[in-house]
Structure 1
Amino acid sequence: MEKVNASVVCFGEVLWDVLPDRRIPGGAPMNVAYHLHKLGVRSHIVSSIGKDKAGADLTGFLHSIGLSTAHVQINDHHATSEVLASIGDHNEVSYEIIYPVAWDKISWDENLAELVDQSEAFVFGSLGSRDPKSRNTLMKMLDYAKYCVFDVNLREPHYSVQTISDLLSRADLVKLNANELSLIAGWFDESRETESECVNLLFSQFQLKEVLITKGSTGATYYTPQYRYDYPAYKINVADTIGSGDAFLAAFLAMKLKNEPLEITLDHAVAMGAFITSQSGACPVYSKYDLGRFIWRKKLGVNNALQHARI
């Protein structure tokens, strides 16, 4: 995969996922930045950590994987985020997220305006906007973004209808799962039952350009106001699902920023999500060669084909 001459800014939470047997770095924005970096896209993280050992360890990890900490603020009054994660019977992950922590208090800095203005895409989520301090910084950064990517991540009780609505109104592309789509559509019109009906509501309500729905073992669907594109999943043995959606989004953006055809873009996104799901943790050590070999091997047994239709 060739070098992508583009940069992406990822805003929000960086943290430690504390599992029963280990502690691993995480947070959706950091995961997306990590995989973008692996795919040759210059990525920047805007977040905050505490002045503590957990924060120092996160800084060390980011440096070890080649990501800059220039825009990771250090907060003297709030701790680095540590999230208790548990894996259920079907490899689904649940989280206990403490509030407030350092990434709830990301401060506005004039340098952030230039950073976003000079980047091709700006990725943000709902969790990183749960506190007014970080949310206000996010809203200012959105004023400078060329392409706004809203990575929905609904974790009760860390969101509100008003905040999600505000973020949807600023987005160009929205990525979410089927459950989140149904929940959000129901806030505005409980009569919307099918996926297409829910997506059409989002298009009409918020003037979005693209909606991207992740569906785990059944693949993904990409919508524009005129078309729907379905792409099947790769069959794998699941290790855990931590960060699979983040990896999916990173690959989608990497291909989109290269102006690759939609089929290639969705194929790489689905493949990346499957590849990370077959590994342990959100940011496993791998190379582009490992990903390419995974795709090649799966292609020998899977005939993925893009399906599309006018809507």
Structure 2
Amino acid sequence: MAQKILCIGEILWDSLPNGLFLGGAPFNVACHLHRLKCDVSVVTRVGNDVLGRIINNRVNEKGISTDLFQVDNLFSTGLVNVTLDKEGNAFYEIVAPAAWDYIEADDQLMKTAEKADIIVFGSLAQRNKKTRETIQKILDLNKINIFDVNLRPPYDNHDVISDTLYKTKICKLNDLEILKLAEWYGFESDLHEAAIGIREKFGCEIVCVTRG
């Protein structure tokens, strides 16, 4: 029987000079898993607005269920303003608050989480207490928790990262992020040694470092 995968966190629009593009790390992972014919569900929260309705339509067109999409009547759908410098380097303004900051641990979500085998989540969605509490409650179910570390200052809370790593079986981060964690925890700045340090300190089974 195929393992059930639950991806939870932000879904948002990247606002670039040439238009709006649908994004959010947990959602992007879900799209790739769906293409691989995996049994994947997505949990997020959008605003009761035009951009939220477009997201629902786009996601449904991809063949991914929006049954676990929550709708917020107070906060708007997530938006990231992206600007590029002369060299093409991107700078991000992640608008806050956003609907995905307020994902609720309702009965439908918790029942789905209890049946899941794998939980995919990140650090950005935990910038706000409400969604952070929801994610942490799901992590306490002790599934195969896959943590996509995404350090976007000022949303790079040391304590949140530490608490989450202790509940993580598989950790994914890039070469710059692992060096930041090495600095925090006093590990060697060598990528391999830093990965070993994370595994040994937090008990992660796998530490995956992407380069470039």
Distance of aligned partners of 1:177 and 1:89 in 2 relative to their CA distance in 1, 3 Å threshold? farther
Counterpart of 1:167 in 2: which secondary structure?
helix
1:80 alignment partner AA: T
Give 1:133 deviation, angstroms. 0.3
Give 1:115 deviation, angstroms. 1.2
Q: Show the counterpart of 2:58.
A: 61
Give 1:5 deviation, angstroms. 2.2
2:64 alignment partner AA: L
Distance of aligned partners of 1:121 and 1:89 in 2 relative to their CA distance in 1, 3 Å threshold? farther
| 1:212 pairs with 2:204 | no
Q: Any idea what the Cα deviations from partners look like across 1:87-112, whole Å, max 9, x if unmatched? A: 55666543210111100011111222
Q: Is the 8 A contact 2:142 2:167 kept in 1?
A: no
Counterpart of 1:123 in 2: which secondary structure?
strand
Alpha-carbon RMSD? 1.6
Residue number among 146, 151, 160 corresponding to 2:143 in the alignment: 146
2:92 alignment partner AA: Y
Q: Is the 8 A contact 2:179 2:191 kept in 1?
A: yes
Q: Show the counterpart of 1:112.
A: 109
Aligned equivalents of 1:215, 1:92: Cα separation in 2: 17
Aligned equivalents of 1:181, 1:90: Cα separation in 2: 25
Q: Which runs of 5+ in 1 are unaligned?
A: 217-311
Q: Which runs of 5+ in 2 are unaligned?
A: none
Q: Is the 8 A contact 1:119 1:145 kept in 2?
A: no
Q: Show the counterpart of 1:97.
A: 94
Aligned equivalents of 1:157, 1:13: Cα separation in 2: 16
Q: Show the counterpart of 1:46.
A: 43
Residue number among 1, 6, 11 corresponding to 1:14 in the alignment: 11
Aligned equivalents of 1:132, 1:38: Cα separation in 2: 32
Counterpart of 1:68 in 2: which secondary structure?
coil
Q: Any idea what the Cα deviations from partners look like across 1:202-254, whole Å, max 9, x if unmatched? A: 122101100001113xxxxxxxxxxxxxxxxxxxxxxxxxxxxxxxxxxxxxx
1:145-224 → structure 2 map (5 Å cutoff) = 145-189=142-186, 192-216=188-212
Counterpart of 1:70 in 2: which secondary structure?
coil
Counterpart of 2:27 in 1: which secondary structure?
helix
Q: Any idea what the Cα deviations from partners look like across 1:249-291, whole Å, max 9, x if unmatched? A: xxxxxxxxxxxxxxxxxxxxxxxxxxxxxxxxxxxxxxxxxxx
Counterpart of 1:49 in 2: which secondary structure?
strand
1:83 alignment partner AA: V
2:188 alignment partner AA: R
TM-score (norm: length of structure 1): 0.65
Identity %: 35
The number of residues matched between the two structures is 212
Q: Show the counterpart of 1:79.
A: 76
Counterpart of 2:121 in 1: which secondary structure?
strand
Shifted more, 89-98 versus 8-17: the winner is 89-98
Q: Which has the higher strand share?
A: 2
